[in-house]
Structure formats: structure tokens, C-alpha cells
Structure 1
Amino acid sequence: MIAALARQYHAFFNAWVFFTRLPAPPKVVFNDDHLNQGSRYFSWIGLIIGVLLAVIFYGLQLVLPVALAVGLMLGASLLLTGAFHEDGLADVFDGLGGGFSKEAALTIMKDSRLGTYGAAALIVTLGLRGLALFEVLTAEPMAAFWLLPLLHCWSRFWAISTLWTLDYARADASSKSKPLATRFGLSATIIAALPLVLIAVLPWQGALWALLLAVFLRAVLVGWFRRRLDGYTGDCLGAAQQLQELLLLLVWVALGV
């Protein structure tokens, strides 16, 4: 029992360091097996990031206009995660927008340079996130404490759920997702899904719409990745997280919660 808990402790902090720019406690053991197991904590890490961002936003809006507080909070989110998921979004749109074969798309996605498709995707998604957050948080700044944790855990769960139905697209270990999450079974799914109980903050009609649209977007993205890449890469998971976060935020605004 103690050994099993110790493995999960190491797995969590392997994922923590992988997905954030925040340090782990001393004596954490880093290896491929712990990182693979750590995929089940992706949504939990999102939950913690959301709480941190809520605290940052609430403190900032006490001394600054809400628009500036939202902008600085989004900047803080990039610092906390190293723009990890935004990088994946840009790479996917560059690769699938500019590459006409699987090999060409994967090559473009490995290129560190930012192209037109990726830049456009970042501008549009970041802009929409900022506008939507401003719309919600101007009316109720305290909503940050349930909105931001929900956004970040919900979107990460649906991103990692991609692994239920897709295989890894690369033949080597060159993508940033390796060796993360090559397997994602029932126990991992249950652990990853637990933070999603936060969706209860929405009216039941809103929660139902959020669920249906998340499933729809997942189906669209999985079909796109399968058709173009015959699987997923780490960039695909990052793109899925960004788009699921934006979708839930738009649902929240549409509901006028």
C-alpha cells in the first residue's frame, strides 16, 4: 500500500513538472514509467493551475481594471505552463494547415518556427478567451474561483481522453508527448474524471450542453487527427486542451451564468 502511494506521488510530480514550470519537491524520482502513470493527473494539475490563476486574477482586479487583470492573468497562465498547450495548438494548425501529407505535417509540427496558420490560431483563441473572461468576470469577479478551475481541469480531461481511441502517430520518441500516456485505462480515466464534478456549478441544462459539445468537439478532433496523422502527438493533446477550454468558456458566456 505504501509503495503504491509512493508510486502515485512520484507519478503526480512527474506530470506536474512536465506540464508546468513549477518545481517538484525534493527526492521525486523522474522516469518514463512515472510520467506515463502521471497522465491520470493531467486534469488535477489543471484544477490547481485554475485555482492559482483565480487567486492571481482576484488580487489584480482589486487594484486594476478588469480588462487589465484578465490580460495579466492570461499572461500568468502562459508563465505557469510555459505556453505548453498554446505551442501545441500553433504546431497543429501549422502542420495540418501547411502539410499535405502525414510526413509533411509531422515535420512541420516539429519545426520550432511559428507559421501563419499557427499565429492566426493563437491570436484568435487568446483573443476570444480574453474577451469571454472579461465578459464573465466584469459582472462577477468571484466567479473566477469556480470558472477557472473548471475550465482548466475540464479541458485537460477531454484532451487526454484522445488516447482512448487513437494511437501515437510517430514511429520514434521525438514528440513532446513521449513517453506520456501511451496507455489510458479505466482506473486512470476515473481518477482523471473526478475533478469534473465542478461542472455542477452550471445549471443542469448548461452542464448537459457543455458535455454534449465537449463530446462533439472531441469527435471532430479525433476524426481530424486520425485522417491527417493516423493518430495523435503531444501537439494534438495541447491543441485539444486549448479548444476545449475555449468551447466551455463560450458555453458559459452563452448561458449568462
Structure 2
Amino acid sequence: MKILLLAFQFLTIIPVRVKGAVTEKEVGRSGLFFPLVGAFQGIIGALAMFLLVLLFSVPVACGLVVFILIATNGGFHLDGLADTFDAIAVKSTGNRTEDRQKRLSVMKDSATGAIGVTAIVMAVLLKYLLVSSLFEKYDAMSAVYLVFLMPLFSKWSILPVMFHGKPARDEGLGRIFVDGTTRAVLLLSTLLLVVIYVFAALLSSMIDLLPSINFLIVSGLSLYAFSLLWSLFCSRRFGGLTGDTIGAAGEIGDLLFLAIASLWF
């Protein structure tokens, strides 16, 4: 129960209180419940979308839902995305060790640079356009269903990043989560993703089970491949993962899932 509460504490703005002392091991293993937190955020997004499309035009409703989903985690992932892209933009001096240290220093700086701001704007704009495109291609209920699935998949996609990655620093949340994401944690989180997805598919009357299973496989494999590539990229660019690069992975995972969904049905 404690690691479940920790997962909500780290991924949402819900004022969760965790009783007793918390160990680094418990914090690291809280990733097991990231898909469940994603499902919770997905329910909020889907309910908001269902209600808002009754009150506003689809473009306005999509914009409000994107804002609501960002608000559920306090913009944590967008902040990580901005810091990561600011660090990526650091010009190379030809010395890999010095370059990595400089990038990590930029990433740790609380000030957001022009590249970071651009990354935030582009990410939010792309998410808005992709969510809106769901309503252009499919019926409203299918689009709402996909809005529910988006954070479920993107939060799960963080687990392979942490499993395959290594920490860039000897301290910080990045190291704690990387060390805590064991093979068992990854497998159990994947099982949790499948259980939630199949349960949601069975409850959904507009999508029969077989295409849903195919979509689960394709989306899961695509996001896993992205996670692996992202961890390798961060290893080369920064020497490993940080809390910011992990948060950025979740934000990019949202966009990748929406792109797959827009092309699928």
C-alpha cells in the first residue's frame, strides 16, 4: 500500500500522506504502480472530455482536457521535458566527459531556456492537435476511450526506460528509480497494464476485444522500443538518466501513443 501511495505522490498533485519512514527501496519500487496512476489520470481525462464535449465545441473541449491532464501532475513531466531539451541543446566541446557534466549542470538549473520553452509549447500543441484528430477520425466515445488509455500507456512506458537505463548521478530521484526498477517490477507493471487494458476493453461496447488486443500489442511494443532508444540516447548524451529525463520520457510517451492511436483504427 505504501508504494502505491508513493506512486500517486510522485506522479500527481493529490496530497497523499504516507505514514512512517520511507526508504529509497520503497520509492524506487513505486514504479510498479505507475500504470494504475496513469489509469486514474485517464479516468479524469475521459470523464472531463465526456462532459466538456457536451458543453463546448470539440476544439475547446480538447484544449481544456489537455490542460486538466497537465494539471493532474502539476506540469512535472513538462518541466522535465524543458530541462532535458535545454541540456540537449548544449553545444559539444569535443570532450565527452566535460559535455556531459555541462549538460547535467544545465538540466539542474531552475531557469528554463529558450529551447526548453519551445519544447513545452511544441509538446502541448502537438498533444492538443493529436487529441483533436481523434474526434475527426472516430466517433466521440472511441475518442474518449483513447483519452483514457493515453496516460495509462505513457506512465507504463517510463518503466522500461528506468529498467534499461543507468543513473547519470550518484544521487537524486533518477538513481533511486533506476535502482528500484528490477525485472520483477517491470514484469508486474506490464501485467498491471494488460489487466487494466483488457478490463477496460471488456467494459467498452464500441471496441471488440480482438482489435483491442492487437492495439495493445502494437502500442506496447512501440512504446517499449521508444523507451529502450530513449535510455540509450540519455546514456550517450548525459551519461545516464535523471529525474528530468524520466519525466520527459512520460511526456513523449503521451505523444507517441496518440500518434499510434490516430493512425490505428
The bucket for the TM-score relative to the shorter chain is 0.7 to 0.9
Distance 1:30 1:194, change over 3 A: farther
Alignment coverage as a number of residue pairs: 245
Structure 1 residues 212 and 42, CA gap change in structure 2 (3 angstroms): closer
Provide the rounded CA distance (Å) in 1 between the counterparts of 2:220 and 2:79.
Answer: 26
Matches within 5 A, 1:220-231: 220-231=229-240
Q: Give the corresponding residue for 2:48.
A: 56
- Normalising by structure 2, we get a TM-score of 0.84
Amino acid at match of 1:190: L
**Corresponding position of 2:68:** 76
Point out 4+ residue stretches in structure 1 off by more than 6 angstroms: none
Alignment of 1:132-151 (within 5 A): 132-138=130-136, 139-151=138-150
Unaligned runs of 5+ in 1: 1-8
Which of 243, 248, 253 is the equivalent residue of 1:239? 248
Task: Tell me if the contact between 2:161 and 2:228 (Cα under 8 Å) persists in the aligned partners.
Answer: no
Structure 2 Cα separation of the partners of residues 204 and 53 of structure 1: 22
Higher mean alpha-carbon deviation, 226-235 vs 96-105, is at 96-105
- Could you tell me which amino acid in structure 1 is paired with residue 230 of structure 2? L
Give the conservation status (yes or no) of the 8 Å contact 2:49–2:61: yes
1:190 Cα deviation (Å)?
2.5
Once the two structures are superposed, the pairs formed by residues 1-257 of structure 1 within 5 Å of their partners are 9-24=1-16, 28-29=19-20, 31-32=22-23, 33-98=25-90, 100=92, 101-138=99-136, 139-173=138-172, 176-177=173-174, 179-197=176-194, 198=197, 202=211, 206-255=215-264, 257=265
CA distance in 1: counterparts of 2:178 and 2:121, whole angstroms: 29
Q: Return the alpha-carbon distance in structure 2 between the equivalents of residues 190 and 145 of structure 1.
A: 28
CA distance in 1, matches of 2:4, 2:140: 31
Comparing 194-203 with 12-21, greater Cα deviation is found at 194-203
Offset at residue 130 of structure 1 (A): 0.6
> 1:37–1:181: 8 Å Cα contact kept in structure 2?
no
Instruction: State percent identity of aligned pairs.
Output: 24
Q: Matches of 2:144 and 2:177 in 1, distance apart? A: 29
